[in-house]
Amino acid sequence: MTPGTAPVIAVTGASGFIGRQLCDSLRSLGWEVRGLVRDTSRYPFSQGGVRLYRCDLPHVVDEEALAGATALVHCAYVTRHRDLEEARRVNELGTRRLLDLSRSRGVGRFVFISSQSAHDGAVSYYGRSKRELEKTLSPGRDLVIRPGLVLGPGAAGLFARMRETVRSSAVIPLFGGGRQPLQTVHIDDLCGAIVSAIRKGLTGTFTIAEPDPIPMKEFLGYVAARLNRRPLFLPVPMAPALVAFRTLEALRIPFPVSSENLLGLRQMRAVDTTPDLDRLGVRVRPARASLDLIFRLG
């Protein structure tokens, strides 16, 4: 970034959970923010001054949003779907098109919001597709951010669905016994890490999550306590649960958890995030502190 000039940041998925919070964080710093959204008639931000541009991947992208941009932060991604081919079209073709456009329009850096579930052994579509798209980027030019489970207020995102399930259910299944090592990141800490990476001109891959994992069972128990709920936590073997969920999906019976979620749960693994956080110069609060803040504000 040129000293003394405000960065110009374009953000796809700007009306989504991460994108909306990121746009507000960037505007609070006085940066010029261009939000790429499907519906430009709605203004979902708490900060003023975010300029809206139309984006409906893979084909509709208002290229003016990219003109002179310091970075393009790509948050848009289909995470819940009934049509896998449509998800692939939007996610994979859409991301590649954005990357090509960012190159042709001279955008300084492509910032891809990936996932901690993106690795070479991933079995879920979400994790596999994110990892394959990571490989299309240039490690010396682009930036990949892999968040853990993102925690924050509001009704959007995976955490919101988990919270609502705990709130409304008398029985909570613990798939695989709930032993999975969970690493979370509060939305404010994630936005702070992205800002730091852009400011420092960093490239490569960074995992942003609390260094010390918490077992899934313990995490859900703490959510229940904060909601004043006492559900029955029921251990459920992973293999038969996958069969049951795929049957429900084949019959198009809605359910708050998908087979994709279970595949992701089955492959959850702890990652040492301390080196990445040290390079960024940021800290990520532990899950309990994040939940305390969310429920106190909520």
pLDDT tens column, 234-289? 999 988 888 888 888 888 877 767 787 788 888 888 999 999 999 999 999 999 99
Structure tokens at 26: 């960037």
3-state secondary structure of 4: coil
Return the CATH class of domain 8-148+185-209+271-285: alpha beta
Strand partners, 235: 174
The tens digit of pLDDT for each residue in 141-173 reads 999 999 999 999 886 788 998 899 999 999 999
One-letter amino acid identity for 280?
L
In this structure, is the dihedral angle defined by the CA atoms of residues 95, 96, 99 and 100, taken in order, positive or negative?
A: negative
Residues 66, 91, 117, 206, Cα dihedral to 10°:
-10
3-state secondary structure of 296: helix
Domain boundaries, the chain: 8-148+185-209+271-285
Per DSSP, the three-state class of 82 is: coil
The per-residue pLDDT for range 41-66, each reduced to its tens digit, is 999 999 999 999 999 999 999 999 99
Q: How many CA atoms are closer than 13 Å to the CA of 193, on its beta-carbon side?
A: 33
Contact 209, 184 (CB under 8 A): yes
Per-residue pLDDT of 204-231, as tens digits, reads 999 999 999 999 999 999 999 999 999 9
What is the reported pTM? Answer: 0.92
Rounded distance between C-alpha atoms, residue 48 and residue 40, angstroms: 14
